[in-house]
């Protein structure tokens, strides 16, 4: 099942955001070795985890978070605009219909059972579905170059925003990829099994919450607790 979590419904979904923060830590900090100043006690979060963020999380049969992504508006502070503008040679997109995909990660342990591409495909399907529901035209991302293989394999149309750069020994590239009905159909055709439609978009609501184990505000998200996992050396996430 895929869940959409925003500031409007975080009160009843805080544990999913907490589990996603723990998954981010396992993949980005423990496996890839990122040095994240705000990562502590098994959770990864940064200054873009605010009430403006939208989270898409994939849950397995036992309701554990096994993959997820964070969406940011390009008209607000975002990763490519604030941290990696050099990856967009023609300028960083800033449009209501263009959002940024960040923290696209898959649980390495779950991937050993279902295949990292299967979970990645589900997440791409969720991005396309959400984009169409929200009336978006494109997503942009700062990604490891390996992400291009996944996007190509599931039928996405994408292009590089500029020349790739080597960052901490890995090739990183700015990407733009379209959101369209025909792409959604292609991605759906590559799923290993039928998938449940996304829930309706949460209605705008609370903009700041303080809950046990998690704080969601204009400043940052601080998440709760989740268990560890092993590593899949082949999956390269969107940053």
| 236 found inside a domain | no
91-112: average pLDDT: 88
For residue 41, is it left (φ>0), alpha (ψ between -120 and 50) or beta? left
pLDDT range class, residue 80, cuts 50, 70, 90: very high
Beta carbons within 10 angstroms of residue 62's beta carbon: 6
| 183 found inside a domain | yes
Does 222 have pLDDT greater than 50? no
| 230 found inside a domain | no
| 129 found inside a domain | yes
Does 63 have pLDDT greater than 70? yes
The reported pLDDT for the residue numbered 236 is 52
Q: What is the CATH number for 182?
A: 3.40.630.30
The reported pLDDT for the residue numbered 207 is 40
32: domain range? 2-222
Distance of CA 140 to the CA centre of its chain: 11
Q: How many domains does the chain have?
A: 1
Q: Could you tell me what percent of the chain has a pLDDT over 90?
A: 57
pLDDT range class, residue 117, cuts 50, 70, 90: low
Nearest to 238 by CA among 156, 132, 180: 156
| 232 found inside a domain | no
The reported pLDDT for the residue numbered 229 is 33
| 234 found inside a domain | no
Pairing of strands 221-222, 54-59: unpaired
Nearest to 176 by CA among 73, 95, 100, 77: 100
pLDDT range class, residue 104, cuts 50, 70, 90: very high
| 122 found inside a domain | yes
160-189: average pLDDT: 94
On whether the CB atoms of residues 49 and 58 are closer than 8 A, the answer is no
Does 112 have pLDDT greater than 60? no
pLDDT range class, residue 121, cuts 50, 70, 90: very high
User: Tens of pLDDT along 46-55?
Assistant: 999 999 999 9
User: Tens of pLDDT along 1-41?
Assistant: 899 999 999 889 999 999 999 999 999 888 887 777 666 67
How far apart, in whole angstroms, are the C-alpha atoms of residue 23 and residue 60? 14
Pairing of strands 138-144, 98-106: parallel
| 170 found inside a domain | yes
pLDDT-wise least confident of 122-131, 148-157, 225-234: 225-234
- Ordered DSSP codes for 140-156: EEEEETTHHHHHHHTT-
Q: Could you tell me what percent of the chain has a pLDDT over 70?
A: 80
């Amino acid at each position: 099942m895929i869940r959409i979590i925003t500031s409007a419904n975080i009160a009843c979904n805080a544990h999913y955001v907490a589990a996603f923060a723990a998954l981010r830590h396992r993949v980005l900090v423990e496996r890839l070795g990122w040095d994240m100043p705000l990562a502590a006690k098994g959770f990864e979060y940064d200054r873009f985890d605010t009430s403006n963020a939208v989270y898409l999380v994939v849950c397995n049969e036992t309701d554990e978070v096994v993959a997820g992504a964070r969406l940011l508006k390009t008209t607000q502070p975002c990763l490519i605009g604030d941290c990696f503008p050099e990856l967009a040679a023609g300028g960083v997109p800033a449009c209501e219909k263009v959002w940024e995909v960040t923290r696209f990660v898959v649980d390495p342990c779950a991937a050993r059972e279902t295949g990292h591409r299967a979970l990645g495909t589900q997440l791409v399907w969720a991005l396309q579905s959400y984009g169409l529901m929200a009336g978006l035209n494109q997503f942009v991302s700062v990604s490891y170059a390996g992400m291009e293989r996944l996007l190509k394999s599931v039928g996405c149309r994408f292009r590089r925003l500029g020349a790739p750069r080597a960052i901490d020994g890995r090739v990183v590239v700015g990407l733009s990829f379209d959101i369209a009905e025909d792409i959604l159909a292609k991605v759906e055709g590559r799923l290993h099994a039928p998938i449940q439609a996304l829930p309706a978009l949460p209605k705008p609501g609370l903009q700041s919450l303080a809950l046990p184990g998690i704080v969601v505000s204009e400043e940052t998200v601080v998440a709760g607790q989740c268990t560890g996992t092993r590593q899949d050396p082949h999956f390269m996430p969107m940053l």
